[in-house]
Structures are given as C-alpha cells and as structure tokens.
Amino acid sequence: MRRELRPCMRSKDSPERTGPAALGALITELAARVRPEPYDLRPGGTGRKRLAEDVGMSIWAVGRMLRGETLPRVENVYALARVLGADEEQLLDTAGYRQGANRTKRPKEPVLSIANPLTPEAIADGLGITHPFVRKMLISSITEAMRLQREADQHHGGDPGETAVAR
C-alpha cells in the first residue's frame, strides 16, 4: 500500500532539499507515521534496530543515514520505500540519486557527441555523484588526469602511437 508523501517542512536556514541530510529527515518523518506501529527512532528506542532488520541494513548504516551522514545503497532505498509505505521515486529524488522530473526519460546509456563534449562535471553527473566533497574530488582528479595527458601528448610530439609509461 503506497501513500502520497507530503514534503518535509524545512526552515529558511536549511536550503538542502536533496542529499543525505534531506533523506535522513524524510525517513525519520516517514518512520514516525508508519501504521500500525511507528518506528521509534529516538536514542534508546528499538525503532532503529527494527528498521535495520526490516530493510536489511546494519543498525550503524541506519544511524548514519538518519543523521544525514551517508546515503543508503539504491537497493536499500527501494526497501525503505516498501517498509515505510513510501513512494520510491520521492526517496530517490530526495537522496539525489535522480535529478529533475525528466530523469526517467533519459536514455539508459549516455550518448556522446561532438556537440556535447564530455566534461568532468558531466562525468560526475553521469555517475550520479552528488555529495559535494566526493564530487569535488572526482572533478579535481579528472581535471588533473586531463592535464597530465596533455603534457604527455606534447612531450611525445602528439604522436598517438607513442604512449607514456612510467618505468
């Protein structure tokens, strides 16, 4: 049985609408509404353990998710939706695994073209990397790899037959 979810109330000081903190707040709100027996997620309550068992996550992973420290694996988002009687798509959107209403209309495989060159940001988007720190690290690593490749190409005269190998 699925229920329509109301958006969580957020203060003006809390601009985050997707990501770990937003998902943790939404899961906490939904868990309190489960009938006939809501999950008591307060410290010392048995709700975290029960939720972990019902979803198939560790109690530590549930705690980190509820505190907004980490996101659950996608398959656990589906299990959370089932256990909490929630809409899978809203949970995926809130987690940041899906972005925008047209996400489901995208082709399953990315289409590369000269008109839309592949950028580090596009790679992060394509991989679904939304956490700001992880995203910054990935983009930085890709940018550095591209710089090193350009240097190697210039050093070897741009001959595609030659490869730079560390010895």
Residue 75's pLDDT band, with cuts at 50, 70 and 90, is very high
Distance separating alpha carbons of residues 64 and 50, to the nearest angstrom: 15
Distance separating alpha carbons of residues 164 and 151, to the nearest angstrom: 10
pLDDT tens, residue by residue, 112-125: 555 556 788 888 88
Confidence (pTM)? 0.52
**What is residue 154's predicted lDDT score, i.e. its pLDDT?**
84
Residue 160's pLDDT band, with cuts at 50, 70 and 90, is low
Q: Is the dihedral of CA 11, 13, 16, 17 positive or negative?
A: positive
Three-state DSSP at 79 gives helix
| Single-letter amino acid code for the residue at 129 | I
pLDDT tens, residue by residue, 17-66: 888 999 999 999 999 999 888 998 887 788 999 999 999 999 999 999 99
